[in-house]
Structure 1
């Protein structure tokens, strides 16, 4: 922020709040100037720190600090949403995510489910930027709430340019090794196994150990620049670790009772020129193995949505082009029943068949039995939830960073016809963008 004016403006609004206004949820906002939201986030001392930008063109960019309330279960989050909706007035946005497999041990400081109501929101939109202070009065003393809000405003500092990314010297270790991977693929593609489980999404953790890991916000900022048609997210619950990513896949977007989701599965690389690129795309759409992989995904999504919706429609298969990859995608539109909440959707949709497999339970059983690394929030969920609308991404194409190590994750859907060495190469292609940013490509 170029001046202290926005902070002073919020303090003034806080000072002049009438007692009758101090109930439920309230958002105080003021225009401000900011060049780089991640440069602003990176220098703040308040935690948690979150960043979110949805995939839509012209999406609002959000940086968040602090937590007024945090919820470690969907039931608690839904109860809070419902209580505020019933009280009327302004409605907040909650941000957070969920692990791939909430029943399994995960990453140390990342609960299986964690959504929070941020204290500070800095948003950049086409018309400029807005700094907001969130307040919550219902179940806390208004004096304490205002004192906490003041303390948070006083802690804010001006943005700084992000540090430059230096190429890293690192030790690389893949879990599983290529040999173990080949054995797993052999087991999944065995006709006896395919008979009951036609698709399992196997994943790999690539550990890069280095003397000094990069600033996560500098890394995300560079990554974002080359990942146009993707979601962009980052979360630091503590100063010592961060989870960032640029996922291409939407879990769902809800506007009132209208829902959009997608089947994104089936992968090929980009071509050297437009002609080769088109040829690869046409080959992908015609390819039996990849078409089967996509079909496994959309059939399961349709099955899950059916009891929740009054109508469901599926679009045509088409190709989406990312920086290094092309995927098959089908959009799915649904009209939800009145009683369906985000809790119902998040209890039934993830893990999607694009990151777990089909049928879900037997695919998960294989993953739990074989994968020794912890997926944590990789291939889980991250995004925004509010009473009126929600937008959530599937957390693929991501990195988990602590002070000693960067962990990169990639997965591949194994179906009839999958070849172990081809799928291993696909894993490398999926982490190629971030590897090149780290000076390792």
Structure 2
């Protein structure tokens, strides 16, 4: 019997004594591709999360509860453990800048949106389970309605679909800002007077392709996974036809109980395809003053923001994170949190990091609000999952927003002392190369 059919049987027989608060039922299942499974479903929202370590993978359907206020995340902290045996897990994220207006193509995301799904498909290691979530109150009518809603959701589950090569992207490409505007902004940011008060601002670019036939997001993400190792892979589709996908190398943080892992990922150089030459380029990156400064500004800011939140915080030696086309300078941060620190506290303190915004944060955001001529929305936002015992967030970079009329790609570059407009513009192209190599293989 299929897992969803077994869950329906269990729901039908669920004793009245177990219809209390948050309830989670699970059944072992076998799914070849989580993305293929999501592609086949019609129940939304459809959300996907795959950890960088590849040992944790989640796909979700439907919405049982929802949080749209970042301050409300604090209520998830230090809750009594439910009878379900595990705390409810919310999936979602925050926009890059909560004070910036959102363009219409970001409206379904909002500044904050976290979903407790009706259905979860979970892989931890080699174990895969299908999970149905319910939330009961003390009213018999509500309990019956909740059981009916859960059964109806499970009845909509379809077998996984075949994943196909994503459709080749055609359409007019528009850059915002264009190259001349980019040159002017970088020139402004690297004047001595500006650097004296604002040592780093991360400028970004939106590359928009007008289209009437956007690729299927799950086909696209499946095609990107093999060519984007050492990355988080996620997809958030809160409304049909509007989906953010990302292949992000950057962790914002992972929390397991009171233990916290974060990182400073800043500083970039290309890869050559030759192992010896890549080693030379990595050594060049480690020694380069401009890239070392960019990374130092990030890890110093993170450590400063953890003061008062962490009882201990340690910084690793610099090392190289190698991706398919790029190499990044990375320093890991390992910390133990104070007892009463919540994920709401961590997100408020750490997001956005100087790796995607700049430093000082307040001045960098003020500059971007005044001078950046497109809506970042969830680009460079914080995306992930959160429960009382575990939370994990990645930074939404190397991402694409797919809508019915356009595909938008985003890339950014940290502007610090020594930055040159042409080199930083080329860095944006380098960061988009893998995405474009899948979307426009003939042009890569």
Q: Does the pair score TM above 0.5?
A: yes
Q: Does 2:87 match 1:91?
A: yes
What displacement does 1:116 show?
Answer: 1.1
Could you tell me the TM-score, scaled by structure 2's length? Answer: 0.96
Name 1:384's counterpart in structure 2.
385
What displacement does 1:84 show?
Answer: 4.9
What displacement does 1:164 show?
Answer: 2.7
Assess, with a 3 A threshold, how the Cα gap between structure 1 residues 188 and 421 changes in structure 2: closer, same or farther: same
Task: Write the deviation string for residues 171-227 of structure 1: whole angstroms up to 9, x where unpaired.
Answer: 110000000000000010011000000000000000011231100100011111111
Within 5 Å, give how 1:218-233 maps onto structure 2. Answer: 218-233=219-234
Name 1:117's counterpart in structure 2.
116
Q: Does 2:100 match 1:104?
A: yes
What displacement does 1:378 show?
Answer: 0.3
Q: For the Cα contact (< 8 Å) 1:174–1:207, is it kept in 2?
A: yes
What displacement does 1:90 show?
Answer: 2.7
Instruction: Give distance in 2, aligned partners of 1:196 and 1:413.
Output: 16
Instruction: Give distance in 1, aligned partners of 2:114 and 2:290.
Output: 37
Name 1:192's counterpart in structure 2.
193
- Three-state SS of the structure 1 residue aligned to 2:273 is coil
What displacement does 1:128 show?
Answer: 4.1
Instruction: Give distance in 2, aligned partners of 1:139 and 1:340.
Output: 32
- Three-state SS of the structure 2 residue aligned to 1:361 is helix
Instruction: Give distance in 2, aligned partners of 1:290 and 1:418.
Output: 9
Name 1:5's counterpart in structure 2.
2
Task: Write the deviation string for residues 325-350 of structure 1: whole angstroms up to 9, x where unpaired.
Answer: 00000001111111101010011110
- Three-state SS of the structure 1 residue aligned to 2:308 is helix
Could you tell me the TM-score, scaled by structure 1's length? Answer: 0.96
Task: Write the deviation string for residues 25-47 of structure 1: whole angstroms up to 9, x where unpaired.
Answer: 11111111211111111121111
Unaligned runs of 5+ in 1: none
Task: Write the deviation string for residues 331-389 of structure 1: whole angstroms up to 9, x where unpaired.
Answer: 01111111101010011110001000010011111111111100000000111111111
Instruction: Give distance in 2, aligned partners of 1:47 and 1:64.
Output: 8
What displacement does 1:9 show?
Answer: 0.5
What displacement does 1:125 show?
Answer: 4.0
Q: For the Cα contact (< 8 Å) 2:55–2:123, is it kept in 1?
A: no
Instruction: Give distance in 2, aligned partners of 1:129 and 1:373.
Output: 41
What displacement does 1:127 show?
Answer: 2.9
What displacement does 1:169 show?
Answer: 2.1
Within 5 Å, give how 1:4-403 maps onto structure 2. Answer: 5-56=2-53, 58-85=54-81, 89-106=85-102, 107-138=106-137, 141-403=142-404
Instruction: Give distance in 1, aligned partners of 2:406 and 2:138.
Output: 41
Instruction: Give distance in 1, aligned partners of 2:371 and 2:225.
Output: 33
Name 1:436's counterpart in structure 2.
437
What displacement does 1:139 show?
Answer: 7.4
Unaligned runs of 5+ in 2: none
Instruction: Give distance in 2, aligned partners of 1:320 and 1:299.
Output: 19
Assess, with a 3 A threshold, how the Cα gap between structure 1 residues 323 and 101 changes in structure 2: closer, same or farther: same
| Number of residue equivalences | 437
Instruction: Give distance in 1, aligned partners of 2:341 and 2:270.
Output: 38
Instruction: Give distance in 1, aligned partners of 2:117 and 2:271.
Output: 39
What displacement does 1:89 show?
Answer: 4.1
Task: Write the deviation string for residues 204-256 of structure 1: whole angstroms up to 9, x where unpaired.
Answer: 00001123110010001111111120101001111121000010000001111
Q: For the Cα contact (< 8 Å) 1:25–1:84, is it kept in 2?
A: no
Instruction: Give distance in 1, aligned partners of 2:118 and 2:78.
Output: 20
Task: Write the deviation string for residues 265-289 of structure 1: whole angstroms up to 9, x where unpaired.
Answer: 0000002311110111001110010
Instruction: Give distance in 2, aligned partners of 1:131 and 1:95.
Output: 16
Q: For the Cα contact (< 8 Å) 1:25–1:90, is it kept in 2?
A: no
Q: For the Cα contact (< 8 Å) 2:171–2:209, is it kept in 1?
A: yes
What displacement does 1:82 show?
Answer: 4.2
Assess, with a 3 A threshold, how the Cα gap between structure 1 residues 337 and 86 changes in structure 2: closer, same or farther: farther
What displacement does 1:65 show?
Answer: 0.3
Q: Which 10-residue stretch deviates more, 308-317 or 4-13?
A: 4-13
What displacement does 1:110 show?
Answer: 1.1
Instruction: Give distance in 2, aligned partners of 1:398 and 1:17.
Output: 42
Q: Give me the CA root mean square deviation.
A: 1.5
Instruction: Give distance in 2, aligned partners of 1:354 and 1:242.
Output: 24
What displacement does 1:76 show?
Answer: 2.0
Q: Which 10-residue stretch deviates more, 86-95 or 382-391?
A: 86-95
Instruction: Give distance in 1, aligned partners of 2:177 and 2:414.
Output: 16
Instruction: Give distance in 2, aligned partners of 1:336 and 1:129.
Output: 31
Q: For the Cα contact (< 8 Å) 2:30–2:128, is it kept in 1?
A: yes
Task: Write the deviation string for residues 376-407 of structure 1: whole angstroms up to 9, x where unpaired.
Answer: 00000111111111111010000000011100
Q: For the Cα contact (< 8 Å) 1:101–1:376, is it kept in 2?
A: yes
